[in-house]
Amino acid sequence: MTIRTTVWGENVHEKKSKIVAELYPKGMHNAIADFLNHAEEIEASSVTLQDPEHGLTADKLASTDVLIWWGHAAHGEVSDEIVERVADNVYGGMGLIVLHSGHFSKIFKKLMGAPCNLTWREAGERERLWVTSRQHPIARGLPDHFELEQEEMYGEPFGVPEPLETVFVSWFQGGEIFRSGLTYRRGAGSVFYFRPGHEAYPTYYDDNVQIVLTNAVRWAHNPAERTLNVHDAPNIVVEEALEPITARGPKLHEDGEEGYR
């Protein structure tokens, strides 16, 4: 079984910043797709903000099992229509992995229903990620903790809903902590937020980060057929009730009509 994975990259800093361009000469999205393609059963491709429809056409999403999202400088340039399209695919069963600064992306804020804010500092300080759910599928093969020698700090309170599970919590040299790996389900879609990944540092070349993301792709994959019409709210008429009933009392709706939205 192949897990068709699409890495969405904003691809802005790679062009504007010499630091990022040198670190990720093919772009962060391709760096991520590259190591995923070394994993068994995963087949990863990448698209960017600059592609037509940001690379997220209806066809592309329909053939994407897991979407990975990295954005930062250009959240506002992502079209609302495409955000809705991505959300509908998540509700229908597409997995979604949101990375780092993607906490402020339109798609993540929409799915969370919350501000998704935090505190931050770019000082190249040490981050140490601790596993809080030992042997969670996303933590498989990891030690109880691992370090990233240079990362941007994100601090709590992190304005997200209580997750299904907290998989990682980060320690920062400057004194903060952050819930770094959080799982959610939205409709049939599994959602994972993973904190590390500042574009000025070589985070996506780190072995443990690559293990986390490879695990996360497998975890987020829902092999069931994609559910369509994810907003449907069908009227079940009396004659089709599973147990025989007779309509009674006052009535505002006609049988089989569409409800109000």
Around 71, how many Cα atoms within 13 Å sit in the side-chain half-sphere? 26
Give me the least distance between CB of 252 and a copy of itself, in Å please: 5
Nearest CB to a copy of itself, comparing residues 52 and 252: 252
Give the residue with the Cβ less far from a copy of itself, 52 or 112: 112
**Among 137, 205, 207, 228, which residue sits at the site for a copy of itself (rule: CB under 8 A)?**
137
User: Which position among 21, 43, 45, 155 is part of the footprint of a copy of itself (CB under 8 A)?
Assistant: 155
CA distance 212 to 143: 11
Residue closer to a copy of itself by CB (options 45, 200) is 200
Bond into 223 cis (ω within 30): no
* Choice from 29, 54, 60, 72 touching a copy of itself (CB under 8 A): 72
Amino acid at 213: L
- Using CA atoms, how far apart are residues 157 and 172, in angstroms rounded to an integer? 14
Residue 112 to residue 34: CA distance in whole angstroms: 29
Tell me which of 15, 26, 161, 228 binds a copy of itself, using CB under 8 A.
161
CA distances from 62 to 54, 65, 68 (A): 15, 8, 15
**Residue 112 near residue 160, CB atoms below 8 Å:** yes
CB-nearer residue toward a copy of itself: 45 or 130: 130
- The whole-angstrom separation of Cα 17 and Cα 15 is 6
Are the CB atoms for 196 and 101 separated by under 8 Å? no
Return the range that interacts with a copy of itself (CB under 8 A); candidates 11-19, 25-33, 42-50, 56-64: 11-19
Q: Which stretch binds a copy of itself (CB under 8 A): 49-57, 61-69, 204-212, 245-253?
A: 245-253
Closest to a copy of itself by CB, 45 or 240: 240
The packing angle between helices 207-220 and 28-36, to 10°, is 70
Site for a copy of itself in 26-55 (CB under 8 A): none
Question: Which residues in the 77-96 window bind a copy of itself by CB under 8 A?
Answer: 91, 93
The Cα–Cα gap between 43 and 2 comes to 7
- Decide if residue 62 touches a copy of itself (CB under 8 A): no
CB of 52 to a copy of itself, least distance (A): 24
Instruction: Pick from 112, 211, 212, 217 the residue near a copy of itself by CB under 8 A.
Output: 112
For residues 208-237, which are near a copy of itself according to CB under 8 A?
222-224, 227, 230-237
Considering the complex, what minimum distance in angstroms separates the CB of residue 118 from a copy of itself? 6
| CA 111 to mean position of chain CA atoms | 9
The helix or strand, by DSSP H or E, that contains position 121, with its residue range, turns out to be strand 119-131
